[in-house]
Amino acid sequence: MAFIQYSSPCFRTTSFPTLSVPIRASSHLSLSTTFRKWVPAFRVKSLNWVFSGALALTLSATGVGFAEAKVGVNKPELLPREFTPVIDVAGFLSDGQEKRLIQEISDIEKNTGFKLRVLAQNYPDTPGLAIKDFWQVDDRTIVFVADPTFGNILNFNIGDSVDLDIPRSFWSRLAGKYGNMFYWKEKGEDASIEAAVMAISNCLREPVGPNNCSEVK
């Protein structure tokens, strides 16, 4: 996997409102070949950022290097005792919303074979890198991290197999529509999360072709 990001924080190549120019995570920052692609709304970061909340040393498109000092997080104690595809350590979702998302994610996996996993967090209160093993992330997994810390709330790690079927532009449009600060501050973090999950569900169910996922529904 590679990493992509657009608007505030997120995954293979995107950008954030937090920074003025798109950046590309240097290849040596990848934590594993399973996690090579991270796509948020408008900027590229290493997997370590999305799961730990840390923005590691990166290289901008103009060749200018910079680093933001944030300590990486790995707190397995924040993980639930039993498996669940939705982990809300930030408290953004009601019990009813969480149940609806879990059901939708279960339907997605049954109907498409792709696995969607949702983590709602507020850095540094996050299990961080511990979710990788907890969810057994593979190349058919989409990890969606909802974290408003850096402006855009939508962050995605896209598995290689998912990337073959879903155009990269979909993730940038999704983050731009439902992840921007104006949207989630007006509607609420929970509304952004639910809208993003439903848009991903609709996209994954479309037949693969030149025009699939051309609209964020």
Q: Hey, what CATH topology would domain 1-217 get?
A: Diaminopimelate Epimerase; Chain A, domain 1 (3.10.310)
Position 71 scores a pLDDT of 61
pLDDT tens, N- to C-terminus, the chain (217 residues): 433 433 333 333 333 333 333 333 333 333 444 444 555 433 333 344 455 443 322 222 223 332 333 466 889 999 999 999 999 999 999 999 999 999 999 999 999 999 999 999 999 999 999 999 999 999 999 999 999 998 999 999 999 999 999 999 999 999 999 999 999 999 999 999 999 999 999 999 999 998 899 999 8
Structure tokens at 31: 């934590």
Give the CA dihedral 91, 2, 203, 111, nearest 10 degrees.
-80
pLDDT of residue 217: 86
Domain locations in the chain as residue ranges: 1-217
